[in-house]
Amino acid sequence: EDQVTQSPEALRLQEGESSSLNCSYTVSGLRGLFWYRQDPGKGPEFLFTLYSAGEEKEKERLKATLTKKESFLHITAPKPEDSATYLCAVQGDSGGSNYKLTFGKGTLLTVNP
């Protein structure tokens, strides 16, 4: 069974204080690792897909990296508008599935001005 563990559960940063969120996973045949952002009262918003170890993706102040056991979401010089819950999900190939995402419980990021 695929598993995803995110840490920390919550993180408070000052504006401009860079940090990283962790996503540890176990999966049978990784097809993709996904990062989503979720604002209160909203649905998850897609950020990145990573497919293989060593891959990196960037978007504004966010950079996602992937190893064979974990992914990091690096946040450089965050702003208050980066405050949200960040969700990590994996898609494996168990049972021939090409659709099932297993989500972590997320990291609640708060950036204070």
Residues that bind other proteins (CB under 8 A): 31-32, 34, 36, 41-46, 49, 87, 89, 97, 99-101, 103-106
CB of 1 to other proteins, least distance (A): 12
Q: Compute the distance between CA of residue 20 and CA of residue 73 in angstroms, rounded to an integer.
A: 5
* Residue number, 43 or 54, with CB nearest to other proteins: 43
* Residue number, 43 or 113, with CB nearest to other proteins: 43
Whether the CB-CB separation of 66 and 73 falls below 8 Å is answered with: no
What tokens does 96 get?
Answer: 């021939």
> CB under 8 Å to 65, separation ≥6 — which residues?
50, 55, 56, 71, 72, 74
Q: Please give the DSSP secondary-structure letter assigned to residue 68.
A: S
CB of 113 to other proteins, least distance (A): 26
* Residue number, 19 or 38, with CB nearest to other proteins: 38
CB of 49 to other proteins, least distance (A): 6
CB of 109 to other proteins, least distance (A): 16
Whether the CB-CB separation of 85 and 106 falls below 8 Å is answered with: yes
* Residue number, 11 or 108, with CB nearest to other proteins: 108
